[in-house]
Chains A and B, each alone.
Chain A
């Protein structure tokens, strides 16, 4: 589903964010991307979302080299990828419902069909009762769940999350992870960047570890107790 071949990214100014990273995520696979701040987690996700360009190597998504995608096709490519941001990136000038509606509006969905899907997504994250509220009135955990509903509402094949639990207390963070596992169970390929080792090591999923831009560990069956091999 997602394949990195020898990918390097150097920012203008010389900082090397990623150095020769190679890995492959299968269809329906769920993986955590971990490492300290500045290890290159966000950069790796940005490369998949095509908000940054790589300097070397190639990235294949569903067998297509996304770095050769013409600029006008980039929006259509992005629609197939749901993204959950640490700061959720919700719009506070509209209701929860309208925030989740956004991806469907962009795709030109029929209003009734869109409304049905928005409610289904909000129901899934347990916020159906809050659809009319402005997201600014919600708690941090609820805001993040609205962000997740928006990321999954058009049923993407891939879901990326950049520190989705970064601003949440452990209990809420665990709830979010349970949600992600549920989406994974219906076949969505997931890549979740998180430095919250205590949380993600409890979940039995593949773990990719970055250190100073290099992929230093790729554990397919991490133990429940620790990260050391």
Chain B
């Protein structure tokens, strides 16, 4: 008895720390590869799980991209800071000139532009492609307007100008981009909230999906777990393959969601670009972007791992 443990002890300590680290890394690599191989060996059930995870992740990603594209308008409109005053139809040129003069004198107005009723009709015809309809009308229904560029983008400034304009008898109606902007703003913050809420709810869904898949794979490998436990494997060692499986589920599910989103964007890009062309070339259909892609993949991998961990801690108690 005395000889055996001594040689055993020696051979163990003769392994250097570096060798131990290398062996440990090799073990992790093998574990990750093995977990991937096992997913591959059951293509039908793996694909189902991945598809469900991907769809769960696709929803918040899609909403995020929608919000991102809308906020482009928000940003550029904030720069525009325009107020449009629609004039009464019987307004003559002198009144317009007087009004423009009074407005230009105001320190918070940087520029005014007059759009005659004919010009408006021509613009509309070109814009909408409904030139024939406009021609068919006996009378031009579009009013003349003044587009007033403000000196700054503050909401109060716009309000001041609006008050000034509403006292003018020649002005029929004032439209402020700022108001519209405010609505867009609140809509966008609503979208952001919705994205966060969706992320929270659907993260839970991803957690449960992976957790459930890991539960089945634990059940199918019960014999192995029992033997490992009997011959002295630590819980961490036994759990490792399952954690890697969860990690793969998350990562591959995230990648699939990313791919689905990319395909969707590709399908939308044609019509979207045609639409955006009306607004000039300052807008572009935006995708997820690098940072958000990293968040999507990293987050989904972490969720998969966590789902596996929860499942392991719940179902390993039997062994």
Contact = CB atoms under 8 A, between A and B. Distances in A.
Interface of A: 1, 27-28, 49, 51, 72, 75-79, 81, 83, 89-91, 93, 102-103, 105-111, 113, 150, 154-155, 157, 186-189
Contact of A106 (B2, B26, B223, B237): B237
Nearest to A102: B231
Interface in B226-250: 226-235, 237
A51 to B, nearest CB: 7
Interface in B1-36: 1-5, 7-8, 11, 15, 19-20, 23-24, 26-27
Contact of A109 (B23, B234, B237): B23
Interface of B: 1-5, 7-8, 11, 15, 19-20, 23-24, 26-27, 223-224, 226-235, 237
Contacts of B7: 155
B224 A93 contact: yes
Nearest to A28: B1
A103 B234 CA distance: 11
A189 B231 CA distance: 17
12 contacts: A91-B223, A91-B224, A105-B27, A106-B228, A106-B232, A107-B232, A108-B20, A108-B23, A150-B231, A187-B2, A188-B1, A189-B1
Which of B26, B223, B233: most chain A CB closer than 10 A? B233
A110 B223 CA distance: 25
Contacts of B226: 89
Contacts of A1: 1
Contact of B4 (A49, A78, A91, A187): A187
B302 to A, nearest CB: 26
A1 B1 CA distance: 10
A106 B229 CA distance: 10
A78 B232 contact: yes
B232 A75 contact: yes
B24 A188 contact: no
Given A75-B234, A107-B232, A157-B1, 20 more contacts: A27-B2, A49-B230, A51-B230, A75-B232, A75-B235, A78-B232, A79-B232, A83-B230, A91-B223, A91-B227, A102-B227, A106-B233, A106-B234, A108-B20, A108-B24, A108-B27, A155-B4, A157-B4, A187-B2, A188-B4
Contacts of B27: 105, 108
Nearest to B221: A93
Contact of B231 (A106, A109, A188): A106
B191 to A, nearest CB: 48
B230 A89 contact: yes
A72 B232 CA distance: 11
A118 to B, nearest CB: 14
A197 to B, nearest CB: 27
A110 B19 CA distance: 8
Contacts of A154: 8
A21 to B, nearest CB: 22
A169 B3 CA distance: 35
A109 B30 CA distance: 14
Nearest to A79: B232
B2 A111 contact: no
Contacts of B234: 72, 75-76, 106
A111 B234 CA distance: 19
A105 B26 CA distance: 11
B230 A77 contact: no
Nearest to A81: B232
A107 B23 CA distance: 10
Contacts of A51: 230
A90 B230 CA distance: 12
Given A28-B1, A111-B26, A78 B227 contact: no
Contacts of A27: 1-2
Contacts of B26: 111
A1 B19 CA distance: 32
Contacts of B232: 75-79, 81, 103, 106-107
A221 B237 CA distance: 44
Contacts of A91: 223-224, 227
A102 B19 contact: no
Contact of A89 (B4, B15, B23, B227): B227
A189 B2 CA distance: 11
A150 B232 CA distance: 12
A76 B231 CA distance: 9
The 4 closest A-B pairs by CB, nearest first: A78-B232, A79-B232, A187-B1, A27-B1
A77 B19 CA distance: 23
A111 B27 CA distance: 10
A22 B228 CA distance: 30
A142 B224 CA distance: 20
A76 B236 CA distance: 13
Contacts of B2: 27, 187
A143 to B, nearest CB: 13
B172 to A, nearest CB: 81
